[in-house]
A and B are shown apart, each in its own frame.
Chain A
Amino acid sequence: MKSESTTLGYNSKVEGEVVVTQADAVINWIRKHSVWPMPMGLACCAIELMAVGASRFDISRFGMEVMRFSPRQADCMIVSGTVTYKMAEVVRRIYEQMAEPKWVVAMGACASTGGMYRSYATLQGVDRIVPVDVYMSGCPPRPEALLDAMIKLQDKIGRERSVKNLTAPKAAAAAPAFAGKEA
């Protein structure tokens, strides 16, 4: 209870009594500043991903340094590397284990399109099995490019309708239209 001796850190005279905002604005603000990435490191791009986490590039400046190797504690899968058909199943299963809301960043040429591996063994873009939010060019992309992509993802999260995963789960709309297309 407030008594004579209580001091408050909140000055109602200066700051007013009430803050008016929208649920979307608050929820998205919270979400975008605590992205917990799941490093899906599959090939050489993962080395750049590690550099981003280290002190020189320091992803924690943007509030997303909490890399979690358990999908259940992560909400942004960074697919960094070549996705083979043999591994694609695993990538999809890990994606499904992540809690909603979740986002996917396709890091580098391989994850975005199959890259230089136009062959029988390589999935031609991870967007054929999971919905991708941000694509990055480069082979490998520079760490700054990953930071840029993550900031773009933050912008995107900021523009989302925050309850959309309650009404229409992303996973249902996972398959992009061309996934089943005959080549």
Chain B
Amino acid sequence: MSHADFASLQERFAYLTERDSADHLAVNCPAEHLLEFCTALRDSLGYDLLVDVTAIDWDAETSPRFTGIYHILSTTHHNYIRIASDCTDDAEPSLPSLAGLFPAANWHERETYDMMGIRYEGHPDLKRILMWEDYPYHPLRKEFPLAGIEVPFPAADVAETANAKVLPAPMMGGPFVSSADGTMREIEPQAKDESWTEKEEQS
């Protein structure tokens, strides 16, 4: 039994729209109301544990291109709510930071910023968390190749002594994927295209 169903939520927050969901209650919330809505969720509806902050890149042709996603759990009522919030600007996406409401948002938002390039306004320390600080790209965006893009090595002095660079990884016919069914041997992750040879790589 959900203690907050969509109808009762919308009565209080008229700007919400319902979102298709295979499991929990899910709502779309405009970015400008996100803080207000989440504050109400936390303080009066019992949603007290921020579980996940992530984002979707729908791809460069779609507008709005980026959607921020939040999962919040009520530890008293044992149910989740999913909130989706579109970024209005496609080129420089941003969302209000929830770090002031839920301390857990701090690192989650840094990760989403690092991977997707969404700026969280009001975040106390918005810097990269996974990639090194002057990395120029946001790797989980749709147009970014899995193998990576050549950029300077993180430390200039090490790059010089070791003659190292950040190079695109050889994909060797990858990415490696598992086919859904078959014997253990067949479902082992493998490249779809195995026509490459080590010899070709070296030439």
Listed in ascending order, the chain A residues whose CB lies under 8 Å from chain B are 85-86, 88-89, 92-93, 96, 114, 116-124, 128-130, 171, 174-175, 178-180, 182-183
Asked if B126 is at the interface of the complex by the 8 Å CB criterion, the answer is no
Contacts A120-B146, A120-B147, A174-B161; A86 near B167 (Cβ below 8 A): no
Q: Contacts A86-B132, A89-B155; is A119 near B148 (CB within 8 Å)? A: yes
A85, B169: Cβ atoms closer than 8 Å: no
How far apart are the CA atoms of A130 and B162 in the complex, in Å? Answer: 7
**How far, in angstroms, from A171 to B162 measured CA to CA in the complex?**
9
B33 at the interface (CB under 8 A from A): no
Cβ of B13 < 8 Å from any Cβ of A?
Answer: no
Determine how close the nearest CB of chain A comes to the CB of B29; give it in whole angstroms.
32
Contact yes or no, B174 A118, CB < 8 A:
yes
Indicate if the CB atoms of A120 and B158 lie closer than 8 Å: no
Minimum Cβ distance to chain A for residue B176 (Å): 7
Q: Size class of B's contact patch?
A: 20 to 34
Q: Contact between A118 and B169 (Cβ–Cβ < 8 Å)? A: yes
Q: Which of B123-181 contact A (CB under 8 A)?
A: 130-132, 137, 139, 144-150, 153-155, 158, 161-172, 174-176
**Other A-B pairs beyond A86-B131, A175-B163, 4, CB < 8 Å:** A120-B146, A124-B170, A129-B158, A174-B162
Instruction: Give, as a whole number of angstroms, the nearest-CB distance from A131 to chain B.
Output: 10
Q: With CB as the reference atom, state the residue of chain A lying closest to B163.
A: A175
Q: Check A120–B164 contact: CB distance below 8 A.
A: no
Give Cα A85 to B95, complex, Å: 29
Query: Which A residues are in CB contact (< 8 Å) with B139?
Result: 120-121
Min CB distance, B17 to chain A, in Å? 36
Question: How many angstroms from the CA of A89 to the CA of B164 in the assembled complex?
Answer: 10
12 sample A-B contacts, Cβ–Cβ < 8 Å, listed by A number: A88-B153, A93-B158, A116-B189, A118-B170, A120-B139, A120-B169, A123-B164, A124-B169, A124-B170, A129-B158, A130-B162, A174-B161
